[in-house]
């Protein structure tokens, strides 16, 4: 009789992990000058008892720096700055993937460097609040609809950013195709109103994501490439659309052909409807490599999902902020500390590296 799988069981696959607890990517806005720094190295090394750490979203292009103080991985200086982070995490026994996040239409020109521009599949404003350090709170601006050449150039930026991440010592990269950022903007029929080969049909709307994933796989290898998706997502004012289930069914099948390291699903919106729950089951069947589930999981829910073979790994976001030793606390049923939400996106150590481990 096989042993019951739980959060503390090692995982063997393309990734070999000491447990099945993943630290989910979370924007923290501490990258002054869009560079990684010693504070960021401390933050991730403190959390290296996770089976896998996935970093905050890191821009693969100047055009993807939509938020204030998010890091980049498109310049030699940025690449060099991340080496301290990877060395610290590896020295502490951890593994980490860099999440590549191009914000697309979710941004403001005040957060972009000179010469960069907001790009998206179509010129449709996200109409979302956006903090800028120079102008305070603003509203996102209308992006420029990408040309065919800009699409090709952006795919190459992702591939080169992935290579830069490996050079910086990362174990792999995760493509951010969730939460309303550029990759998902191509998938969504409400934000993608193109009439060329990247718009219209399910196959066309999925093309940019698949081509980007393929380009990254060709550059750094499938075993070092993951992707995050969020079916039925409404974050960042993403509209609902009728063929969501069919699109993600198709996407899971096509991504499976690339033999990625994992698929990371934000599943809360899918679980809200019968169609969404059926989609989760379909994705689990279609996508053969590792599946990570995320969205408000507790120790009990995570263990149940693993025992029921709904997933291979479970990711935790907010609990890792105030609990750097989260796996230890979960294993020993130690009460979790609660984070201070007003320091989620500030610029210093407060609410970042000053949460203590359990005594």
Residues 205, 154, 41: CA angle, nearest 5 degrees: 115
Which burial class, exposed, middle or buried, applies to 145 when counting CB atoms under 10 A from its CB (0-12, 13-18, 19+)?
middle
Annotate 53-82 with b (16+ C-beta within 10 A) or e (fewer). Answer: bbbbbbbbbbbbbbbbbbbbbbeeebbebb
Contact yes or no for 112/64 (Cβ under 8 A): no
Q: Which of 43, 44, 67, 181 is catalytic?
A: 181
Contact yes or no for 267/278 (Cβ under 8 A): no
DSSP tag of 30:
-
Say whether 181 is catalytic. yes
CA dihedral 165, 167, 172, 178 (to 10 degrees): 10
Tokens 């990570």, residue located: 292
Cα(89)–Cα(45) distance, rounded to whole angstroms? 4
What are the phi and psi torsion angles at 262 (to 5°)? -165, 165
Residues 107, 116, 227: CA angle, nearest 5 degrees: 60
Q: Which residues pair with 52 in a beta bridge?
A: 22
Give Cα separations from 330 to 5, 55, 263, 313, 335 (angstroms): 15, 21, 24, 15, 8
Q: Checking phi first, is residue 237 left (phi over 0); if not, alpha (psi -120 to 50) or beta?
A: left
Contact yes or no for 328/49 (Cβ under 8 A): yes
Q: Which residues pair with 58 in a beta bridge?
A: 100
- Catalytic residue numbers, as ranges: 181
């Amino acid at each position: 009789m096989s042993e019951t799988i739980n959060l503390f069981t090692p995982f063997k696959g393309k990734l070999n992990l000491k447990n099945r607890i993943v630290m989910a990517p979370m924007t923290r806005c501490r990258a002054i000058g869009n560079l990684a720094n010693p504070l960021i190295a401390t933050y991730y090394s403190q959390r290296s008892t996770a089976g896998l750490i996935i970093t905050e979203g890191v821009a693969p292009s100047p055009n993807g720096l939509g938020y204030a103080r998010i890091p980049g991985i498109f310049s030699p200086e940025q690449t060099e700055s991340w080496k301290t982070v990877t060395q610290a995490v590896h020295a502490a026994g951890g593994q980490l993937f860099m999440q590549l996040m191009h914000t697309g239409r979710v941004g403001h020109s005040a957060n972009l460097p000179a010469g960069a521009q907001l790009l998206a599949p179509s010129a449709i404003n996200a109409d979302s609040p956006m903090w800028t350090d120079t102008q305070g709170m603003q509203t996102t601006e209308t992006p420029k609809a990408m040309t065919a050449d800009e699409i090709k150039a952006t795919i190459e930026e992702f591939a080169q950013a992935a290579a830069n991440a490996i050079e910086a010592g990362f174990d792999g990269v995760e493509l951010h195709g969730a939460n309303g950022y550029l990759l998902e903007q191509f998938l969504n029929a409400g934000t993608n109103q193109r009439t060329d080969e990247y718009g219209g049909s399910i196959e066309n709307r999925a093309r940019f994501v698949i081509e980007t994933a393929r380009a990254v796989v060709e550059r750094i290898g499938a075993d070092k490439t993951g992707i995050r998706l969020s079916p039925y997502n409404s974050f960042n004012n993403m509209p609902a659309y009728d063929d969501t289930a069919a699109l993600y069914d198709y996407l899971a099948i096509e991504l499976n052909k690339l033999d990625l390291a994992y698929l990371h699903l934000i599943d809360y919106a899918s679980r809200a409807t019968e169609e969404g729950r059926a989609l989760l089951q379909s994705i689990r069947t279609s996508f053969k490599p590792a599946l990570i589930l995320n969205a408000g999981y507790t120790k009990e829910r995570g263990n149940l999902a693993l025992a029921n073979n709904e997933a291979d790994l479970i990711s935790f976001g907010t609990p890792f902020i105030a609990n750097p030793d989260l796996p230890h606390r979960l294993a020993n049923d130690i009460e979790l500390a609660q984070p201070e939400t007003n320091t989620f996106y500030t610029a210093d150590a407060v609410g970042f590296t000053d949460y203590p481990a359990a005594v």
